[in-house]
Amino acid sequence: MALNIPEIRAQFPALERPAIFFDGPGGTQICQKSLDRMVNYLLECNANHEGAFATSAASDVVLDEAHQAMADFYNAASPEEIVFGNNMTTLTLHISRSISRMWDAGDEIVVTRLDHDANVTPWLLAAEDRGAKVNWVNFDPVTGKLNLDELAEALERKPKFLAVGYASNSLGTINPVKKIIKMAHEVGTMVYVDAVQYAPHGVIDVQNLDADFLVSSPYKYFGPHAGVLYGKKALLEELKAYKVRPASNALPSRYETGTQNHEGIAGVLGAIEYFEWIGEKYGAEYEANFVDDGFSGRVLMLKKAMTAIGAYEQELNQALLSTLGFVPGLTLYGPSDPRKTDERVATFSFRLDGIHPRTVAEKLGERNIYVWDGHYYAINITEQLGLEESGGMVRVGATHYNTIEEIRKLGQALTEIAEGK
């Protein structure tokens, strides 16, 4: 059963505003189930951890449920492998200190120019601290794809560590992450995957990927501001956790420093329950894709949900690619082959001839169409494309609550702006 978009949109109170939200790559609107979970937490069980009283016990139940829910979303083997934090950037800066203790002076690591800086600078800083050498992998400025030949050359040097993105937050490119992880593991390289931009759009399965670490931010997939890190249990047990002495040594608590944002974690649980609702309501036709592999319960529902979402977003991908192609003076950066939209998420960056990206964003904003402009923290991309000094690009990102009609209005507005109206 195809997604019922009006019913989907009814799950998001913010969509009642007279606005078109194409700002999803920077943060999506929050679903009602997430809001309900947050409010209920604050009203019914707002307490600190492991107390000898009712609200604390109820709080611990919610936190445990949220860890299990994210384990199901990632298809992790255990909730012990799920670490909550403020956001992906903060989690990565935190865990980089633990991971880099395994590096010695002269060791090599690999980062890419296709990544958000949150999956670059933490590792540059860690390499500087440990005396490690950093090797860079470029991307093709025409296709927007990571240069896998360069990656293979870098891996021939048997680096200790590779940081790579699942999908580009700037160009929309989906990297062949499973293949990349296999290449890295064949030479003994640990892999850290930034899945922030991919998580709203497709199935994540850390066991199938054989990921060492994978991280995302639920505010990019209809929940509150938070970050969630997956790490293989054996690695989390091996690493030194930077924490205060009284804090628990158990997993995952040893990496969840200080008092966490409990209501935010409750909201993440609500976002996963929203996906579960989609899987139950709209995912029946995709069940056969997964039941033979032994999936059941919430894990199965989530896989069905993300497959249904991905199928609808292919329509949005095609519509955006076609619409942007008809705007006069528009230059699109990144993957543009209409036959291969399954190799990208619905995130598109472009320039309009002679018009600064901020001006385009402002003029769209005046028309109640919300987009981003600049480098969106993927600064290596705008630098490699030669666009950083002139304002970067305009970014449009669609999720499954967006519509074909909204894309039509975007195209009309961009054409008017390009024509000086």
For 279-321, the pLDDT digits (tens) are 999 999 999 989 888 999 999 999 999 999 999 999 999 999 9
Q: What was the pLDDT predicted at 401?
A: 98
SS3 214: strand
Sign of torsion, CA 375 380 383 384?
A: negative
pLDDT score of 172 more than 90: yes
* Cα atoms found within 13 Å of the Cα of residue 2, Cβ hemisphere only: 7
Q: What was the pLDDT predicted at 291?
A: 86
User: Helix axis angle, 88-100 relative to 121-130, nearest 10°?
Assistant: 20
* Cα atoms found within 13 Å of the Cα of residue 224, Cβ hemisphere only: 22
Indicate the range of 55-59, 75-79, 99-103, 244-248 predicted with least confidence: 244-248
Q: What was the pLDDT predicted at 156?
A: 98
Q: Tell me the CA distances in angstroms from 338 to 122, 163, 344, one per residue in order.
A: 35, 29, 10
Beta strands 161-165 and 108-112, pairing class: parallel
Token pair 């304002």: residue = 391
Instruction: Give per-residue pLDDT as tens, 383-392.
Output: 999 999 999 9
* Cα atoms found within 13 Å of the Cα of residue 217, Cβ hemisphere only: 23
pLDDT score of 1 more than 80: no
Q: What was the pLDDT predicted at 163?
A: 98
Q: What was the pLDDT predicted at 421?
A: 81
Neighbours of 1 (CB within 10 A): 10
* Amino acid residing at 20: I
Do the Cβ atoms of 323 and 408 come closer than 8 Å?
A: yes
As a whole number, mean pLDDT of residues 396-408 equals 98
Say what percent of the chain tops pLDDT 90: 98
Set out the domains of the chain in order of their start, with CATH numbers: 5-30+305-418 (3.90.1150.10), 33-273 (3.40.640.10)
Question: Which of 358, 266, 282 lies closest to 63, judged by CA?
Answer: 266
ω into residue 252 within 30 of 0, thus cis?
yes
pLDDT score of 322 more than 90: yes
C-alpha R_g of the chain: 21
Position 166 confidence tier, pLDDT thresholds 50, 70, 90 = very high
As a whole number, mean pLDDT of residues 63-92 equals 98
pLDDT score of 57 more than 80: yes
Do the Cβ atoms of 371 and 352 come closer than 8 Å?
A: no
Instruction: Show Cβ contacts of residue 342 under 8 Å, excluding neighbours closer than 6 positions.
Output: 174, 314
Enter the tokens of residue 184: 């890295």
Q: What was the pLDDT predicted at 304?
A: 97
What distance in Å separates the CA atoms of residue 373 and residue 92, rounded to the nearest whole number? 25
Provide the b/e sequence for 331-347 (b: ≥16 CB within 10 Å): ebbbbbeeeebebbbbb
| Structure letter (DSSP) for residue 270 | H
As a whole number, mean pLDDT of residues 105-123 equals 98
Q: Compute the mean pLDDT over every residue in the chain, rounded to the nearest whole number.
A: 97
As a whole number, mean pLDDT of residues 367-390 equals 97
